Structure formats: structure tokens, C-alpha cells
Structure 1
Amino acid sequence: MKPHLLLIDALNLIRRIYAVDANQKHSNEEQLVLTCSERVAQACKKMLRITDATHAIAVFDGDKSWRYHFYEHYKHSRAPMPETLKSALHHFKSAIEETGIVVFEPINDEADDIIATLACKAADNKITSTIVSTDKGFLPYLNSEIHIYDYFKRQHLDEPGILERFGVDKNKLVDFWALAGDKTNDIPGVKGVGIKSAQQLVNNYTSINEALSDELLNSGLRKKLETNMDMYVISKQLVSLRTDINLGFSLKQLRLN
């Protein structure tokens, strides 16, 4: 059987399932956690069947990644994890492990960077992987070896869908977000540059430097870019996932029994 690596963005899956279950009637918090952890385990089993995976890992977030130190406002407006869920994460980890999937929680790195590193390393070795997440940050890495699956919409994401959603090709997404910003993660982008201007820039030029060298570039837009170039550089680093993390384990250790 050809190897296939399943990469689960664990908290992305858990928090969304929990948000739905928390709105249902439960006798107590313990029952809520039990029901929700069972649903997460069922979701993992279903994804194993859908992908026909031979290897699998569910990755959690470490504590305060480099982005929080690099930019102090990173995710500062995001609502904290509900305390009931936070104190019960060990139940979810156990539920996932019982499906045969390896659970990994780095010390400091974000799950997105770990998953991107694993997917790219696998692709370099001609091994196909499927990332299960609704996080748009993975979209620039979509290719013939790296697939992305939205469990809640029950669909694999594709390049036409990316173009329809963002108005730019997948290989221009990082520059697009660096210009327009990303409110969900409190990434600033370039002040005064909105979605339409960002689309125009990345669709018409191969780089921001090329745009600035164009004498026909709108003077107002040029001034915004020149004045806020530092925030463009910062934002681009924030939205770019790392693919070079030293993981400390091999693909063999992720094989399903």
C-alpha cells in the first residue's frame, strides 16, 4: 500500500466540535466533555477511512510560539479557550490516541508550523499527505502531494475554490494577506490597503518592489506601501508557515497499527 500521511490540526477540530456540543443540553460539564471527546474520536476514525491513511498524527499547539514574541499583538483579541475545555484536553488526547493516531504537543511551536513541516517533508519524499483543518494558512501549500480537507464541509479544498474565495491564486496568498492583513489573527497588513487593492497588487505584479517601480502605480497606494513597508514585512513573516522545524521523530513512528 502506498504511504499516506494524515495530519490533523487537533485544536481546530476539537474547538469546533466543542462549540457545537456546548450549545446542546447536557446534564453536567463531565457529560459534555465525554460526549465531545467521543465525537472527536469518531471524526478521527472517519478521516482515517476517508484518506485510507497508513500514518497519522494529531498536532496540538505549544505554549506561545515565536509569533507572540515577534509581534506583541498577535492573536491578542482572540477569545480564550473555554476553561471547561482547557482543563479537559487530556481526555481528548486520550480519545484520539485510542484510535491509533499519534498525538503530538510541541513545547512552543504552533500546530500549523509542525503540520506544514511534516507535509513538506513528506512531499519531498513523494509521500502524499492530507491536512485536516479549516485554517486558511495551509492553502498556499496545496499541491499534488499535499491535500487539504475541511471535515465540517466534508470536502477537499482545491485551487479554483481558493481563487473564488480570495480572488488570487494560491501562490499569491501570502503576499495578499501580508498586504490586506488577517483580522482573525490580528495581523495588521499595510495600513490603508484593503482587500481590493491587495488583490490588484498581487495579481498585476510579481512583487511589491515591482509595483513600486511602476511609474503608473496609483500615487496614494504607492505612499501607503512606502510608509508602511515595515508592517508588510512583519505581516508576511507572521502569515508564512515554517517548514523547517526539527521534529525529533520520523515518519516510521507515525505508522498506524
Structure 2
Amino acid sequence: MKPHLLLIDALNLIRRIYAVDVNQKHHSDDQMIEACCARVAHACKKLLNTTNATHAIAVFDGDRSWRYHFYKNYKHSRSPMPQILKDALIHFKTAIEETGIVVFEPINDEADDIITTLSCKAATNNVSNTIVSTDKGFLPHLGQYITIYDYFKKQYLDEHSIKERFGVQQSRLVDFWALAGDKTNDIPGVKGIGIKSAQQLINNYNTVEQALEDKLLSPSIHKKLEANMEMYVISKQLVSLRTDINLGFSLKQLRLS
């Protein structure tokens, strides 16, 4: 049996399930958390079966990643995690571990960077893997050995769905977000460049530098790009997931028993 690595964006899965369960009728908060933990464990078991995984890991976020130090406004407008959920994370970790999946919580790194590093290292060694998340940041890495699965829509994402959603090719997503910004993570992009302008630039030019060299480029767009190249570069770094984190463990340690 060929190895297949399952990579679960743990908080992405938990928070989506919690958002539904918190609105259900329960006798107490403890019962609500217990039911939510059971649903997360059930989801993990289904994912193991759906992907035919031989290896699996669920990754949580560390406290504060390099992005918070690199750009002070990173995720600054995001609502904090509900305290009841924060206090219950230990129970969710236990519920996931009981399914046989390894749980990993880095000290500082974001789950996205850890998962992408693992995924790309596996792909480099011709090991197929599935990332389970609704986070769009993983989409640039979709490829021959890397699949991305939306558990809540029960569908694998592909290049066609990406083009339909963002209006640009998958290979240009990072440049697109660096231009248009990403409001969900408070990444600014280029001031004055909206989604439509970013799509036109991405679809008409191979690079931003090429656009700046085009004498037919709108003077208004040219001025905005030229004045905000520094923020474009910063935004591009922020939206790019790392693939080079030193993990301290190997694929063998993620094998399912």
C-alpha cells in the first residue's frame, strides 16, 4: 500500500464545528464541548477513511508566528478565540489523539506553515498527501502529490474551482493576494488596487515589474504600483506559506497504528 499523508488544519476544523455546535441546545457548556469534541473525532475518523491515510497529523497554531513581528497589524482586527473554546482545546487534542492521529502544537509557528512544510517535503519524496482546511492560503501548493480537501463541502479543490473563485490561475495566487490584499488576515496589499485591478494585472502581465514597464498601462495604476512597491513586497511575504521549517520529526513518526 502506497503511503498517504493526511494533514489536518486542527483549529480550522474545530472552530467551524464549534461555530455550529455553540448554537445548538445543550444543558450546559460542558455538554456542548463534549458533543463538539465527539463531532471533531468523528470528522477525523471520516477523513482517515476518505483519504485512505497511512500517516496523519493534526496541527495547531503556536502562540505568535514570525508574521506578527514582521508586520504589526497582521490579524489585528480578528476576534479572539472564545474563552470557553480556548479552555477546552486540551479536550479536543485528546479526542483527536484517540483516533490515532498525531497532534502537534508548535511553540511559535502557525499551523499553515507547518502543514505546508510537511506537505511539500512529502511531495518532494513522491509521497501523496491531503491537506484538510478551508484556508485559501494552501491553494498555491496544490499539485501532483498535494490535494486539498474541504471537509464541510465534501469536495477536493482543483485549478478550475480556483480560477472560478479568484479569477486568476492557481500559479499566480500569491501575486494576486499581494496586490489586492487579504482582509481576513489584515494584509494590506497595494493601496488603491482592488480585486478587479489585481485580476487584470495578473492576467495581462507575468510580473508587476513587467506591468510597470508597459507604457500602455493606466497612469493611475502605474502611480499606485510605483508608490506602493514596498507594501507589495511585504504583503507577498505575508501571504506566502513557508516550506522550510525545521520540524524535528520524520514521516515515520506519523504512521497510523
Please say whether Structure 1 and Structure 2 have the same fold, judged by a TM-score greater than 0.5. yes
The letter of the residue matching 1:185 is N
For 2:68 and 2:15, the matched residues in 1 are separated by: 21
Corresponding residue for residue 150 of structure 2 = 150
Q: Is structure 2 residue 10 aligned with structure 1 residue 15?
A: no
Q: Name the structure 2 match of 1:101.
A: 101
For 1:210-229, what aligned pairs fall within 5 Å after superposition? 210-229=210-229
Residues 101-120 of structure 1 mapped to structure 2, 5 A cutoff: 101-120=101-120
In 2: Cα distance, 1:246 partner to 1:29 partner? 38
Q: Where do 1:1-257 residues align within 5 Å?
A: 1-257=1-257
Residue type at the aligned position of 1:80: P
Give, as a single letter, the amino acid of the residue that structure 2 aligns with 1:51. Answer: T
Deviations along 1:82-131, one digit per CA (max 9) or x if unpaired, are: 00000000000000000000000000000000000000000000000000
What's the % identity of the aligned pairs? Answer: 75
Q: CA deviation at 1:183?
A: 0.3
- The alignment covers a number of residue pairs equal to 257
Q: 3-state SS of the aligned residue for 1:203?
A: helix
Matching residue's letter, 1:249: F
Shift in Å, 1:144? 1.3
Shift of 1:48: 0.1
Q: Deviations over 1:118-157 (max 9, x none)?
A: 0000000000000000000000000110000000000000
Secondary structure, aligned partner of 1:73: coil
Secondary structure at the aligned position of 2:179 is classed as helix
SS at match of 1:87: helix
Q: Deviations over 1:208-252 (max 9, x none)?
A: 111101111100000000011111011000000000000000000
TM-score, structure 2 normalization: 1.00
In 1, distance between residues paired with 2:233 and 2:187? Answer: 11
Offset, 1:42? 0.2
Give the superposition deviation at 1:63. 0.6
Q: Secondary structure at the match of 1:18?
A: helix
Taking the aligned partners of 2:228 and 2:28, their CA distance within structure 1 comes to 51
Q: 1:185 Cα shift?
A: 0.4
2:173 aligned counterpart, secondary structure: helix
Separation in 1 of the partners of 2:46 and 2:5? 15
The amino acid that maps onto 2:120 is C
Distance 1:234 1:32 in 2: 41
Alignment-mate amino acid for residue 130 of structure 1: T
Residue aligned with 2:23, SS: coil
Unmatched tracts of structure 1, length 5 or more: none
Q: Which amino acid aligns with 2:197?
A: S
In structure 1, C-alpha distance between the alignment counterparts of 2:59 and 2:203, rounded to whole Å: 34
Name structure 2 gaps, 5 residues minimum.
none
Secondary structure in structure 1 of the residue aligned to 2:241: coil
> How far, CA to CA, are the matches of 2:235 and 2:37 in structure 1?
35
